[in-house]
Amino acid sequence: MEILYKSTRGNGETVTASQAILQGLSPDGGLFVPTEIPQLKKSLKELSLLSYQELAYQVMSSFLTDFTEEELKECIGKAYDSKFDTEEIAPLTEKDGVYFLELFHGATIAFKDMALSILPHLMTVSARKNHEHREIVILTATSGDTGKAAMAGFADVPGTRIIVFYPKNGVSPIQEKQMVTQKGSNTYVVGITGNFDDAQTAVKRMFHDQKLGAELAEAGFLFSSANSINIGRLVPQIVYYVYAYASLLRKGNIQEGEKIQVVVPTGNFGNILAAYYAKQMGLPIERFICASNDNKVLYDFFSTGVYDRNREFILTSSPSMDILISSNLERLIYRIAGEDSSRCKELMEALSSQGRYEITPDMKEQLKDFYGNYASEAETAETIARVFKETGYMLDPHTAVAATVYGKFKAQTGDSLLAVIASTASPYKFTRSVMSALGDQYNDMTDFELVDKLNQLTGTAVPKAIEEIRTASVLHDRVVSAEEMPAAVKEILGI
């Protein structure tokens, strides 16, 4: 069965998977969605016997139907290899009465590696399939993790360049050091004097700028995206939810068909949308628990049916979730609007012009599988300290937000189903936040002194990604305003 892709704001025109990956964003400003969600091709029992790589093929081949078996298996083999520090790729750890799905064992110790280690390979195959000879320019805004993971994936990949924009004062010191020390003759990092939403809005504007697009084309370049607006980012994320269920089944923690809860800390909504797609494929998920930090725009949306970004932007200890415009929510809105692209477009234009939109009661009724809540900064720190004290397991702040929200969900519902929490980053990426949660005695230490203290307290190995940046030289120091981003891109590309 061939799966094609259409825009959430389009007139029903379709493109192949490889064309959708290559374009990143639809020309009409919408996001590409599959014409239908395929069903899992094997039983859950059969899937439980597969390795991560084998299971990735099962899931991804259902969506990427214009890739040959050889092409897709080669992409998967290049992505999920020794870059990951565990053969399992995404192991489950049982602590504090829940299962933490550790998605941080890749090259940059954050969950973005799960998709961004394969996207460059999917993209270069897509270019070849579509006879695209222009150089692909990956344009990405990051709230901390996507940028580094994308650069690590695309560094020195022939036929590509990558330009990453990040909020200069809106990421952790370790996140920033990881980005500004990135090697690769085709990688560029630019700080902006604004927040993530400013960067993301400017990137989207550049994608829609026909004059800029024409200038690029004339110079032999083509824009594409590594953000989760690219379907080539989203499809690989579906895999690890299926793998988590398969692992629980293999280990006898659940019976085949038994339902689980999935808890996801999210700002841009891509990571939880992947779980939603997994359920549509046939994975037995009872509920999606959507965890927000103090930027609780998603919590308010699930509570009221009103999405409103007209509010203060708060910098928190979980910066990858410091987002007020959740781009991937558009894919869910399109679905609950009955795949009515004109309705979806109307709502997205209202968000752009007025900063808010409201869904109908009928649409809100279709969100009953979702539960939203948020964790304050104090609650997040308390959870980090409590879980470490009780179990010796250290959570990063994003995972702690999810654990806090799951606690609230259990207290409100009395629910006892087995829960999987998406653990999205290594605590080593946020040493200052996790150590300050344990007490004031660590406040005067440098970031790398904190790394060593964390290593001493937990007995876990310092990840290679951290060791590499201890003495690495800063290679990228450009800072611009959001308005200057198009000029910076042209300068970098020599246009």
pLDDT at 493 over 90: yes
Tokens of 288: 């999606």
Over 90: is that where the pLDDT of 351 sits?
yes
Pairing of strands 306-308, 356-358: antiparallel
pLDDT on residue 1: 85
pLDDT at residue 208 tops 90: no
Q: Is there a catalytic annotation at residue 429? A: no
DSSP structural state of residue 188: E
Name the burial class of residue 2, with classes exposed (0-12), middle (13-18) and buried (19+) by CB atoms within 10 angstroms of its CB: exposed
pLDDT of residue 225: 87
Query: What is residue 88's predicted lDDT score, i.e. its pLDDT?
Result: 97
Taking 90 as the threshold, does the pLDDT of residue 229 lie above it? Answer: no
In the chain, % helix, strand, coil (3-state, to 5) comes to: 45, 15, 35
pTM of the model: 0.94
pLDDT band at 353 (very low <50, low <70, confident <90, very high): very high
Whole-angstrom distance, CA of residue 421 vs CA of residue 266: 12
The reported pLDDT for the residue numbered 147 is 87
233: three-class secondary structure by DSSP: helix
For 44-57, write each residue's pLDDT tens digit: 999 999 999 999 99
- Which is the catalytic residue, given 42, 73, 83, 112? 112
pLDDT, one tens digit per residue, over 309-347 is 999 999 999 988 999 999 999 999 999 999 999 999 999
Cα–chain center distance at 110: 9
Three-state DSSP at 42 gives coil
Q: Are strands 32-34 and 92-95 parallel, antiparallel or unpaired?
A: unpaired
